[in-house]
Amino acid sequence: MKRIITRLTSAAALVTLMAAAPALAVETPSAAGKMAGIGELIKLLREKGVISEEEAGTLERRIAGEEKKQPELTTEVAAPAVIAGAEQLQLTYEETSDLIDAMNDQGLISVEETLALKDRLDEIRQGAKGRWEALVPAAERKETGDIFAGKTIEYHRTTKSEEEVAGMIATVRSLGLVNRDEASSLMGRYRGKAETDQFAATLIGEVNKGVDKSVDRKVTDEMAKVDKLDEKFAKLPEWLNRFKLSGDIRLRYQGDFFDDGNTEEGTYIDPVTLKEVNTTVDRQRLRIRARLGVTAKVNDQVDAEIKLSTGNETDPVSTNDTLGDNFNKDGFVLDLAYLRWKPVTGLTLWGGRLPSPWFSTDLVWDPDLNFEGIAASYSRQFTDSFGGFLTAGVFPLQEIEFSQRDKWLSGIQGGVEFRKGEDLSAKVGVAYYHYENMQGKLNTTVNGENDTTKLTQAQKGNSVFDLNRTFIGEPIDPGYVPGLASNFRELNVTAAVDFGFWDPIHFVFMGDYVKNLGFDLDEVRSLTMDNSIKKDDYGYQVGLAVGHPTVSNFGEWKSYLFYKRLGADAVYDAFTDSDFHLGGTNAKGWILGGDIGIAKNVWLSFKWLTSNQITDTRGVLMATGDENIQATYPKPGPFDVDTLQFNINGKF
């Protein structure tokens, strides 16, 4: 079967006859008499084994005007099958399925892609199609898939005009069966085969003139070429069809410009390493990010993904590599490695090192942060326009061998979605994130029995204290051990509204709010012995994105403007955005950015982040090591910084 499909792919003349037969059937008797050569061509194809007896009979009946009509569909599945956003089209489930078949008949999609689209249609019918991707701010959007990229399909002559084909593609897109990238791939596929269609049309003209020998010669030449291709493709292993490679590269210029009124150099320290944090000397860097991934189809329900990226094993919120290390070689780290299982419609299970399963912005989670553990999500469509989703996950943060105080993160999120075609959509999600065994505990002996609670991963902003502060002045000083002063029980509400009345230009309004329900001011002050600490346990972000939902083609664009405020103890500072205020919490300010496409899959982007420290009264309480007094490092503030990022992006 594969051999025949390959032959038909290259020998456009043969399958053109199949596509043209319905048109020939409506010719007048006099015109049909001029095409006697077609019967001889059908006989030739049958003798060479290119078409079967049944196919030859079908062609003959079509030419004679005896083509059998398809039976009427009588299935009563109207209202529930009309998917969200297609009310104005009034397409039923059966009509949508017929449209997919028509796209296959026109040579736009393969049999495999036809089945994939019908699977999507079934998911929508049963309420499993999620549409959150259109609601996430453009700057934080994950890469979208494209099931039509790089496919090889059986050749069928396209008998419709470019306008008609564009209308078919626009329809399936408005129905939610394909995304923008996939629609562009389909249109590009149609334009790419236009030359072959033109050759096929010319060949039909020759057949109509009875030039049988010319046709036979062209068919013979094409068959000889296909035979050689068959020999090459036959040597390729079958498993190659189950893999898909993808990747991207980003080249970045980044400038960090510090305010003249910032705290003196050397007085702002990293809470974990006690290294000085630069707050006064402007910095300019060239950085690179490269990612390469492979997705494998394990079976009909399970797939796997492995992705490598630049970065390092000590920073979970960045995949950047800074240039300027004397040309030393750089390495790749394991960014993703997970299995995804869809046992039933609407239910998805993940396990391994997986992408963020949450509907969120960078207020709580950095876009480069991936999670390690297990997660599950379920979505359901209640009506044509209204649906819901539920996601839960459990993730180990630190495994401690001789202790029962392993650190964990667990979370649950539920939400609702509304969609009315491409004109209007909205999504709201409410999440609760629970950190276990993260708050530090004072040591009561010099043996450090509570050192398992020490802080091992941080950016900056959270209230911290010295687990060994009770031993200041003792003959044996066990040294400084940092710990978080607060628990973290984060309640997060995220909402987005997408106005697509001017599609492909969209206006997306976004709002995000988080509050740390685990913060106790009296407890924090007691542990830090710092009564100047204030209760700043909440954060929010609001903004607007305007333009194309994704930028992947020349001339496409988007821009956005957000305002963010993130209190010192609103979230665990290690996992929030690493660009705003150069990472961490206790900051507020504006984010302005935009993208513009300069070629297919190549685009420029920029971002300007201006941020100020909210509270200038944070300190790290610790022993000096050689004096019998308590001491703190100078208060880390003010700390104001502007960051400019300019990127050249390419994906494949």
**Amino acid 11: pLDDT:** 42
Predicted confidence (pLDDT) at residue 626 exceeds the cutoff of 70: no
Quote the percentage of the chain above a pLDDT of 90: 48
The residue to which tokens 């009034």 are assigned: 90
Half-sphere exposure of 335 (CA within 13 A, CB side): 23
Tell me the C-alpha distance between 113 and 129, whole Å.
17
**Amino acid 87: pLDDT:** 39
Q: Residues 313-317: what's their mean pLDDT? A: 93
Tell me the C-alpha distance between 629 and 520, whole Å.
27
Please list the residue range(s) of the chain that carry CATH number 2.40.160.10: 243-651
Tell me the C-alpha distance between 31 and 40, whole Å.
17
**Amino acid 524: pLDDT:** 93
In terms of Cα–Cα distance, which of 26, 4, 95, 137 is closest to 591? 137
Half-sphere exposure of 458 (CA within 13 A, CB side): 23
Predicted confidence (pLDDT) at residue 386 exceeds the cutoff of 60: yes
pTM (two decimals) = 0.68
The β-bridge partners of 337 are: 306, 353
Over the chain, what is the mean pLDDT? 79
Helix (H/G/I), strand (E/B), else coil: 622: strand
Indicate the burial class of 511 (C-beta count within 10 angstroms; 0-12, 13-18, 19 or more). Answer: middle
Predicted confidence (pLDDT) at residue 59 exceeds the cutoff of 80: no
**Amino acid 162: pLDDT:** 81
Backbone angles phi, psi at 64, to 5 degrees: -80, 0
Tell me the C-alpha distance between 195 and 201, whole Å.
10
At a CB cut-off of 8 Å and minimum separation 6, what does 99 contact? 91, 168, 171, 172
At a CB cut-off of 8 Å and minimum separation 6, what does 6 contact? 226, 229, 230, 233
Tell me the C-alpha distance between 477 and 466, whole Å.
12
Helix (H/G/I), strand (E/B), else coil: 187: helix
Residue 2 binned pLDDT confidence (cut-offs 50, 70, 90):
very low
Least confident of 417-431, 586-600, 620-634: 620-634
Residues 156-185: tens digit of each pLDDT? 767 787 888 888 888 888 877 888 778 888
Separation in Å, CA 53 to CA 27, 44, 47, 639: 24, 12, 9, 82
Q: Given CATH 1.10.8.60, say whether it is the number of domain 243-651.
A: no
Q: Residues 341-363: what's their mean pLDDT? A: 96
Tell me the C-alpha distance between 639 and 4, whole Å.
69
At a CB cut-off of 8 Å and minimum separation 6, what does 205 contact? none
**Amino acid 141: pLDDT:** 38
Tell me the C-alpha distance between 279 and 497, whole Å.
38
Residue 5 binned pLDDT confidence (cut-offs 50, 70, 90):
very low
Q: Residues 217-246: what's their mean pLDDT? A: 69
Among 65-69, 188-192, 251-255, the range with the most confident prediction by mean pLDDT is: 251-255
Is the Cβ–Cβ distance between 510 and 101 less than 8 Å? no
Helix (H/G/I), strand (E/B), else coil: 195: helix
From first CA to last CA, the distance across the chain in angstroms is: 31
Predicted confidence (pLDDT) at residue 16 exceeds the cutoff of 70: no
The residue to which tokens 């596509």 are assigned: 19
Quote the percentage of the chain above a pLDDT of 70: 70
Least confident of 209-213, 227-231, 577-581: 209-213
At a CB cut-off of 8 Å and minimum separation 6, what does 97 contact? 118, 121
The one-letter amino acid at 19: A
Residues 409-468: tens digit of each pLDDT? 999 999 999 998 888 999 999 999 999 999 999 988 888 888 889 999 999 999 999 898
